[in-house]
Structure 1
Amino acid sequence: MAHYPAWDQDEARSLVTGLAHLEGATLPILHALQAEFGYVDAQAVPLIAEALNLSRADVHGTISFYHDFRTAPPPRRIVKLCRAEACQALGCETLVADLAQDHGIVVDAHGQHDGVAVETVYCLGNCALGPSALVDGELVGRVDADRIAALCGAQQ
């Protein structure tokens, strides 16, 4: 998992200012902030609103609409579990139930389990080797509950 610097208001302002000239700059700015700090701090909302002449509600609405934007520092590990049709046919829903029942790991719990977030995604393009997961950006095929739990427990 990448290690991010602490939120820095001056660096955030510099990123916002550097991208404000783009047409439709809200998303590029949000992506740049998240790439730099691992999340979009609430302090960024007024910066972006002022730079783009938007309301704070517009900026907040964009952040909350897109599920990939984080508003808090990321967990030490992120596991994205595919729950699309091909992985469903190969048992991902049983895997989700087993994770909760046998390991106490709830998918999409809007939080972390021991510093790990397990999130649903729909299609990782690894359909033949499902169920599939993306662990800190690395594609893993043919996962089961025990393997996901082990990946969640592994320290980096």
Structure 2
Amino acid sequence: MTQTSNGSELAATINRIIAEHKTLEGPLLPILHASQQALGYIPSEAVPMIAEQLQLTKAEVHGVISFYHFFRSSPAGNNTIQICRAESCQSMGSRELEAEIKQRLKVDYHQTTADGEITLEPVYCLGNCACSPAIRVNDDIHGRVDMNKFENIVDELLTVAVELKL
């Protein structure tokens, strides 16, 4: 499930996840991870439910969600592109590539393109240092990325998206 269809379905999903993880020591992070896994993001409606069950304030739950970049508070696009920001990639031009990508997509980190196709995220190492700069597109890692290679990747993603809509 990537998005919920109604409030009762959301409540049922969140309540099930809380019940499965509530007895763990330090259950908040496992609940948040499981919620995002099940829903694709952590809806704002889930925050008071989680807070009440764990006897936390809504601010405490929201603080954890906003602190960790992994958690999303809105649905991601159909594709996620992560740009490596680790030292090796930076030394090979990822900062310049990052600026060009943001301009090309017209989004900043943690935002989704207007068509809902691409969400852009930073990542702090893809383990592909020998092929810097690197990006991950969904589950595929690409090395030695320049703007030309990036444009080809995006064109392919958008072509597939158009074909799926036909």
Q: Does 1:111 align with 2:143?
A: no
d(CA) in 2 for partners of 1:145, 1:119:
17
Q: In structure 2, what is the equivalent of residue 49 of structure 1?
A: 51
CA distance in 1, matches of 2:57, 2:132: 43
- Is residue 2:4 matched to residue 1:6? yes
Q: 1:1-156 residue pairs with structure 2 within 5 A?
A: 4-6=2-4, 8-100=10-102, 103-108=104-109, 110-113=110-113, 114=115, 115-153=117-155, 154=157, 155-156=160-161
Deviation of 1:62 after TM superposition, in Å, equals 0.8
What is the SS of the residue equivalent to 2:63?
helix
Percent of residue pairs identical:
39
Q: TM-score, normalised by structure 1?
A: 0.87
Amino acid aligned to 2:152: A
Q: Point out 4+ residue stretches in structure 1 off by more than 6 angstroms.
A: none
Give the counterpart letter for 1:122 in structure 2. Y
Q: Read off the aligned partner of 1:77 and give its amino acid letter.
A: N
Note the residue ranges of structure 2 that are not aligned, 5 or more in a row. Answer: 162-166
Please, which runs of 5 or more residues in structure 1 have no aligned partner?
A: none
Q: Deviation digits for residues 46-101 of structure 1, max 9, x if unmatched?
A: 11111111111111111111111001111111100112111112121221233345
Query: SS where residue 83 of structure 2 aligns?
Result: strand
Q: In the alignment, residue 121 of structure 2 is paired with which amino acid? A: E
RMSD: 1.9
Q: Give the TM-score taking structure 2 as reference length.
A: 0.82
Tell which has more relative contact order, 1 or 2 (C-alpha 8 A, sep 6+): 1
